[in-house]
Structure 1
C-alpha cells in the first residue's frame, strides 16, 4: 500500500526553498546536496523533485531522471574524494531504514581505513559540509555535460 505524500517533509521544504542545504547539483527533475548527517566524508543525496514517498510511487520518467543524476553526482563524488569504493542506496519504508518520506538516493563513499557512521545519527559541522560541497561542485564542473 502506497503511503500518502507529506508535503511538509524536510526534502519537500528544501525543494521549495524553505530550508537551506549545501546544494551540489540541480536540473529540471532532481536536486543533489550534502547529507547533513553523513555516514562518511562526501555522503551526498539525490532527491527527485517529483512528489513521491518511495520508488514505488515514483514515475518511470522520474526514476530515469533520478538514476541519471545519481550516476552524475556519484562520478563527481568519486573524483572529489577518491574513495576506495562507493555505496549507492535507496530505502523504501521505515522498516528498510527510510528516515525522510520523500524518495532519495544516498551516495556514500567508502574508505578502507574508516568505519561507516550510523545513518541519520550525528550532524556534521557546517563548515566541513560547505567544504565538501565545494569539492563536489568543482568535480562536477570537470565532467562532460
Structure 2
C-alpha cells in the first residue's frame, strides 16, 4: 500500500531524495532530513501504515532486528556515547510523518539535544498503570 501524499512513500518509490544507508525487501533506512544529532537515522517500512499498532508482525520484528546492526554501525562510524531509539505514534506523541518509522539518534555526553527531564510518578500510580496495560495486553493476546 502506498500514499502518494506521504514523503516516506515518495522516498521509498525513488520519487524524493534521501541519503539511504540500508535497504532490503521490508525496510529502507536513511538519514532524517531534520537531524536531531549527527547520524540521526530513520527505519521506514515499505508498507504505508500510520501507527505501529497497525504494522504487521514481520515488519515490526524486522525493524527491531535491523536496529541492532545499524546501532553498531553508528557507534563505529561516529563514536557516540549512546543512542536513543525513538518511535512516536500520533500527533500528541510527536509524530509528524504519518507513516510508521523508528528513529535511531546518536547521543554524546552533555549534548543537550533532547527535551525536558522525566516526570516521576508515585509508585502506586505506576503500579495501577502497569496493571491496566498488562490487562489490555492479555485481552489482545486472547483475541
* Both structures adopt the same fold (TM-score exceeding 0.5): yes
* Interval of TM-score (by shorter of Structure 1 and Structure 2): 0.7 to 0.9
- Which of these residues, 100, 103, 108, is aligned with residue 105 of structure 2? 108
Structure 1 partner of 2:53: 56
Structure 2 partner of 1:76: 73
Q: How many residues align?
A: 114
Q: Any stretches of 5+ residues in structure 1 without a counterpart? A: 119-145
Structure 2 partner of 1:14: 11
Structure 2 partner of 1:91: 88
Which has the higher relative contact order, 1 or 2, with Cα contacts under 8 A spaced 6 or more apart?
Answer: 1
- Give the TM-score of the pair, scaled to structure 2: 0.75
1:76-121 Cα distance to aligned partner (Å, 9 max, x none): 1121111111100100011100010001010001101422168xxx
1:24 and 2:18 are equivalent in the alignment:
no
- Give the TM-score of the pair, scaled to structure 1: 0.74
Give, in whole Å, the separation in 2 of the partners of 1:75 and 1:99. 27
Structure 2 partner of 1:34: 31
Give, in whole Å, the separation in 1 of the partners of 2:65 and 2:48. 18
Give the root-mean-square deviation of aligned CA atoms.
1.6
Report the structure number with the largest CA radius of gyration.
2
Runs of 4+ in 1 over 2 A off after TM superposition: none
Give, in whole Å, the separation in 2 of the partners of 1:64 and 1:80. 25
Give, in whole Å, the separation in 2 of the partners of 1:102 and 1:78. 27
Q: Any stretches of 5+ residues in structure 2 without a counterpart? A: 116-143
* Contact 1:6-1:101 at 8 Å conserved across structures: no
